[in-house]
Structure 1
Amino acid sequence: MTTEPNPSPDPNSNEEVSSEEEPLLITDEMLTDHPERGRADFESGMSSFPPLTLILIALNIAVFVWQINTGSLLSKDAIIASGALERSHLFRGELWRLFSPMFLHGSLDHLIGNCFALYVMGIACEHALRFKQFGIVYFFSGFCGSLLSVMVQPGPSVGASGAIFGLMAFIVVFLYKYQKTFFIRDRRIGFVIAAWGLLTIVFGFLSPYIDNFAHIGGAIGGAIAILFQKPFLLTKVHRS
């Protein structure tokens, strides 16, 4: 088999033969770690070991071990007695049940899923808020989740997901509200968090075992919380 030689360019042709490819223009938008002018890097100094988040995870695990040892997972009455959110008990004056479900879980996979989500959301939120503000947002969101849940359904209900949805809503609103102050290296993060939350709620309505109203109430609480306090990270940036 033979190949024909490449034809030589016609000297009378008006086409120019380029020996080099055109250079690729690299823009700032293509550089995920490029500090954008006039805005602070939101992820700068973010710790992988947020203290309050890890304390909350440890408490969730400790309480779950207590639930197993006391047999509170064996029946509906037992889990109500352990502190689950339940309307009739709340109306008897047991207001502490608006907070106690945040540390109770119905199964091992329920605990693991919530602890993982709490860690992921906690890294970003505790970075923005620090210890005290983070605690306020977390427990306020959990309170709002419990309140909406008990208004709509009698219960019982357990889980930290209402508070976690509050953290999720908080960080999405934070990144949107202060987008002129901070930039994130991957701009898809806010969208992915919001989409994941919405999909969780949508699929939650397909299961009778998921307290979606606690999720929705918690998200509302987290979105409201950012309106009433100035995040620590914002104060730090303005000082620098």
Structure 2
Amino acid sequence: MTTGPGGGNGGEHEEPILITPEMLAPRRRVPPPISDGRVDFERGMRRLPPLIIALILANVAVFVWEVSAGAFAPILGSTGADHTSPIMAGALIRERVLAGEWWRMITATFLHGSPDHLIGNMIALFIVGMACEHAFGVTRTAAIYVGSGLAGTAFSLATGPGPSVGASGAIFGVLMAVVVMLYRNQQYFFVRDKRIGFVLAAWAAWQLFVGFMNPFIDNFAHLGGMTGGALAALLLTPTLTAEAMVGGGRGR
């Protein structure tokens, strides 16, 4: 306990102050409160995104079909699908697309060449899709995903004969849409943890690097998806931005 000065002021003294353990503990750094009406973007990311979950389940279901149809023989130890695989029925193959099978530009984005290919893409889709769906809403996120996937397959068609499969073009587009949206709307969004942008950028850079080092990775689909996602973010107004403009920020 401590006491204030006494004696010198006619015997007056202050009440004793109790020192508690909490007062002696080191102070933790508390994030500053949101006081300018911006949207707390990170707290919203904790919600489960229904559209992204549905897309993940769809990709998994298609992969289960691939396995049941004998796409991998044998599945254990397989390095991927060969050219006689049922996967080729929906893969992106330039000559088949130019012959009129345009639906391959969509089906190819739901096919995967190996279990690790699927798992890696679905983890990335959940992480970046959660942010995108929170910012743009279900309908616009669906448009971003499909548009980015089509842009990725278009780039792939223009640069190689194929075959090519995978959702990574669409996922890169979703990632780029989030990056562009955050950059363009800083006045509406409050991002507590600056590491989010670093993690997203680092993941994209690493994937592009690996793609250029591995001839079996369709990096042009990645670049096409990123282009499509960036354009979509420029054209579509995030639902969170609209809410911030008319009603101020929110925390969830």
TM-score of the superposed pair, with normalisation by structure 2: 0.79
1:169-212, Cα deviation, whole Å (9 max, x unpaired) = 11111111111111111112113211220221022111111111
| Aligned twin of 1:65 | 64
Q: Which consecutive residues of structure 2, in runs of 5 or more, have no partner in the other structure?
A: 1-26, 74-81, 248-252
1:227 alignment partner, SS class: helix
| Aligned twin of 2:149 | 142
Cα separation, 2, equivalents of 1:130 and 1:33: 27
Cα separation, 1, equivalents of 2:213 and 2:191: 34
Q: 1:33 to 1:68 in 2, by over 3 A?
A: farther
Cα separation, 1, equivalents of 2:31 and 2:208: 31
1:106-155, Cα deviation, whole Å (9 max, x unpaired) = 00011110110000011100000111111000000000000001110111
Aligned Cα root-mean-square deviation (Å): 1.7
| Aligned twin of 1:220 | 227
Cα separation, 2, equivalents of 1:38 and 1:160: 36
CA contact (8 A) 2:88 2:163 kept: no
CA contact (8 A) 1:169 1:194 kept: no
Alignment match of 1:107 (pick from 107, 110, 114)? 114
Alignment match of 1:83 (pick from 83, 90, 96)? 90
Alignment match of 1:177 (pick from 184, 201, 218)? 184
1:14-58, Cα deviation, whole Å (9 max, x unpaired) = xxxxxxxxxxxx9xxx64353253422112433431001000000
Cα separation, 2, equivalents of 1:168 and 1:36: 28
| Aligned twin of 2:31 | 32
Alignment match of 1:166 (pick from 132, 154, 173)? 173
Alignment match of 1:156 (pick from 158, 163, 169)? 163
Alignment match of 2:140 (pick from 133, 137, 152)? 133
Matched positions, count: 212
**Structure 1: which amino acid aligns with 2:47?**
S
| Aligned twin of 1:6 | none
Cα separation, 1, equivalents of 2:212 and 2:190: 34
Shift, 1:160, TM fit: 0.4
| Aligned twin of 2:50 | 51
Aligned sequence identity (%): 47
Q: Which consecutive residues of structure 1, in runs of 5 or more, have no partner in the other structure?
A: 1-25
TM-score of the superposed pair, with normalisation by structure 1: 0.83
CA contact (8 A) 1:80 1:86 kept: no
